[in-house]
Chain A
Amino acid sequence: MDTATSITEYVRDELLVGDGELNADTPLWDGAIDSVALIQLISFIEERFGVEIDDAELTSDHFNTVADIAALVDRKLASA
């Protein structure tokens, strides 16, 4: 399973409480998830992919959509 699919599934199954659709390009911050969910999402990514998200990377550019998050994770995996 690729990074984006795996993150999409996690968000859809574990974090999303509303009934909206979710794909890799859905903006996450218009009510889809909140600050509690963000912390859970980061722990999930760090555990699943074995990467560490630095404070400097915690920005909306990296976390606006699942595709953005996946791109960050893939970059980190490639340079590891």
Chain B
Amino acid sequence: MSVFAVHHLLERSAESVPDRIAVRCDGAELSYAELERRSSGIAATLVDAGVEPGDRVGLYVPKSVDTVAAIYGIMKAGAAYVPIDPSSPVLRAATIAGDCTVAAMVTTPDRLPQLAEGLGDHRPRCALLVGDVGSADGGSIPSIGLADAADAGGPDPRVPVVDTDLAYILYTSGSTGTPKGVMLTHRHAITFVEWCASTIGTQPDDRFSNHAPFHFDLSVFDLYVAAYGGASVSIVPERRAYFGRDLASFLREESITVWYSVPSALMLIARAVDEGESFPSLRAVVFAGEVYPTKHLRALMSVVPAAELWNLYGPTETNVCTAYRVTELEDDAPIPIGRAIENTEVVAVTDDGRAAGVDEEGELYVRGSTVMKGYWGNPERSAEVLVPHPLRSDVVDPVYRTGDLVRLRPDGDYDFLGRRDHQIKSRGYRIELGEVEAALHADPRVDVAVAIAVPHEDWGTAIVAYVVPKQADEVPTEIDVKRHAAQRLPRYMVPARVEIRDELPRTSTGKVDRRTVADEATARAWSWS
């Protein structure tokens, strides 16, 4: 069969290897045939409830094997799935679900009332619930059990889909305080998956891990490269994700052959491994999302001696656009991000508008089938980053302007240098400091707030907030400020430290002197660093 939509990968493997395990999570597992059947049941239920081709369906639940069935079911219904960080506050989830006017929500009964309230006038056609449907109070939103929908088993509604239809929308941090929805099509995912299959490889006896949350594009690799090859994917239970020893045991128990995650998770593993221990089943270790400090990468290589190592690079807007195969580390210099993957062109452009030459610095532009369609409902912001080709007038498709600074090496690979703006990465998550500051300013007790990125050995960066209270007689504590911010921000964006100050240093023009504040924050020896 021809494969041009993401769910075709599942259908094909359900035909060729129906009895192989497709997904495992915390003791539960589904074969390809079962995953195919359950996802068809979910698709049929959505279509019956009135979900139409081109609609969006929100996914705000912890991971499980049926969450994976729901993802495929949504795509089979011709809709795009919108994964929302399950640790996000309901207010943020409602903002995202409202922004893309979801036609249905997959969520839990306890979150439905607040979600319905947060959506205001927008009423999804149904809610698919994980857990006790009887206990749900979604107002006028009809509720159906996700497991019941999956158990019904179809038939697959066979909604026509073309490869340029949206498959999913991934919301990333927005500098103005509102998350922005990156629109990605079936073609985007398939282009990337095909490159992975041809370089990193995938076959039925492979066992992929899934460490990244589903709203993070690393999960696209885990789920769909596995499905492409008829391999299985083992989901890391949330409660084990922070513990290196648990991750190391998980790798062994599940006989993982291909692992993909942010470097900070791999650093936890490398640190937890005892002398002489290694992971013989691992044949490929792939990482992305942040820079892997070279000395830590060396430590990892000593525990996974047989594995191929890949450093992938790409903002969510391009999924992945460059790759670098790590072979040996001669010194402690940062490893490159490599060069363009298949069906993708990248070019670094200097400040004066030329293609950067060897050893020159430039901003990276990306062209090809992995570049997003735009930000949902935000043509202005989309037009700022999807621009005409900076060097070629014959190219009619827009090119994505990453905002990332790179340097071209003599060997043709690129080195990553940093950002042009206030966007940062912490534990692989992309964070706009402007969104953190907007959430801090929403606190009525806060007069002035700045969020600073402080270098952190394990996480890349940690966020420290400096806050000036509005009134001297109503000074919030550190945890008060964090709690208020946590009503609007996902956990990973809540500042690790909050410093309460009477005033902040100012520049001669009266603005907060970010540089001085940042220097102070960096100079402090944080107890957790």
Interface pair B245/A18, CB less than 8 Å apart? no
B486 touches A29 (CB 8 A): no
Is there contact, CB below 8 Å, between B244 and A29? no
- With A18-B89, A31-B87 in contact, do A60 and B479 touch (Cβ < 8 Å)? no
On whether the beta carbons of B239 and A38 are closer than 8 Å, the reply is no
- State the CA gap A38–B246 with chains docked (Å): 15
Q: Which residue of chain B is the closest to A38 with respect to CB atoms?
A: B242
Shortest C-beta distance, B118 to chain A (Å), equals 14
A18/B486 contact (C-beta < 8 A), A34-B491, A34-B492 known: yes
Query: In whole angstroms, what is the CA distance A36 to B491 when docked?
Result: 10
Q: How far is the CA of A56 from the CA of B87 in the complex (A)?
A: 27
A58 near B243 with CB under 8 A, answer yes
For A34-67 the 0/1 string (1 means CB < 8 A from B) is 1110111001000000000001101110011000
Q: CB distance A63 to B271 under 8 Å?
A: no
Interface presence of A14 (CB below 8 A): yes
Give how many B residues have a beta carbon under 8 Å from the other chain's beta carbons: 31
Q: Which residues of A contact B496 (CB under 8 A)?
A: 36
Q: Indicate whether A31 sits within 8 Å of B245 (C-beta atoms), given known contacts A36-B528, A55-B271.
A: no
Q: B398 on the interface (CB 8 Å rule)?
A: no
| Minimum distance in angstroms from B472 CB to a CB of chain A | 23
Contact with A along B313-327 (1 / 0, CB 8 A): 000000000000000
A2 is an interface residue with CB less than 8 A from chain B: no
Q: Mark B491-529, 1 if CB is under 8 A from A, else 0.
A: 110101000000000000000000000000000000110
Q: Closest chain A residue to B486 by CB distance?
A: A17
B462 at the interface (CB under 8 A from A): yes
The smallest beta-carbon distance between A29 and chain B, in angstroms, is 4
The residues of B that contact A38 with a CB separation of less than 8 Å are 242
Q: How far is the CA of A36 from the CA of B494 in the complex (A)?
A: 10
Is residue B86 contacting chain A, with contact meaning CB distance below 8 A?
yes
Judged by a CB distance under 8 angstroms, whether B483 is at the interface is yes
Whose C-beta in chain A lies nearest to the C-beta of B89? A18
Cross-chain pairs A/B with CB under 8 angstroms, 15 sampled: A17-B483, A17-B491, A28-B239, A29-B241, A29-B242, A30-B239, A31-B87, A34-B491, A35-B427, A36-B462, A36-B496, A40-B528, A43-B527, A55-B244, A60-B240
